Amino acid sequence: VANLKGTIKLDGVQLGLVGEIIKLFKQKGSRPMAMNFLRASEEHLKQHCIDLKDHPFFPGLVKYMNSGLIMVMVGEGLNVVKTGRVMLGETNPGDSKRGTIRGDFCIQVGRNSTHGSDSVKSADKEISLWFKPEELVDYKSCAHDWVYE
């Protein structure tokens, strides 16, 4: 069991996809541990996207992500990072298969509605950037034994 840090970006929030995306992750066995709606500061976003800082689109990405409300969340589940990446689809929605979040709900790379950690290591780093340890709610769902062996 691992954790995944995900973000529903401004376009996903504005398009009303928050509930749909959470529902899809829960249906795949992910258990929500923390969620927060916020407007992130430019500095916070620069830290979050630090691995993209050398790309020409970096300033525009930070400016866009700072321009409105986002939803950050943590989910826990078996293979949740790998499963989450498949569920999101390709970074470019045009390359994403039908049945993925980006394939079904998005059109352009710059408005691909979601972010998900690409590894357990990056998930741990991102979770610590967005949440304090006491904000992560650890509990066992009553459906746990019906989902997992």
Q: Is 105 known as a binding-site position?
A: no
Query: Do the annotations mark residue 58 as ligand-binding?
Result: no
Known active-site residue 115: yes
Indicate which residue of 44, 48, 55, 115 is catalytic. 115
Q: How confident is the prediction along the chain (149 residues), in pLDDT tens digits per residue?
A: 789 899 999 999 999 999 999 999 999 989 999 999 999 999 999 999 999 999 999 999 999 999 999 999 999 999 999 999 999 999 999 999 999 999 999 999 999 999 999 999 999 999 999 999 999 998 888 888 888 88
Q: Where are the alpha helices (DSSP H) in 1-140?
A: 10-14, 18-27, 42-48, 58-65, 80-88, 101-105, 120-130
Q: What fold does the segment set 2-136 form as a domain?
A: Alpha-Beta Plaits (3.30.70)
Q: Is 39 annotated as a binding residue?
A: no
pLDDT, residue 149, reads 87
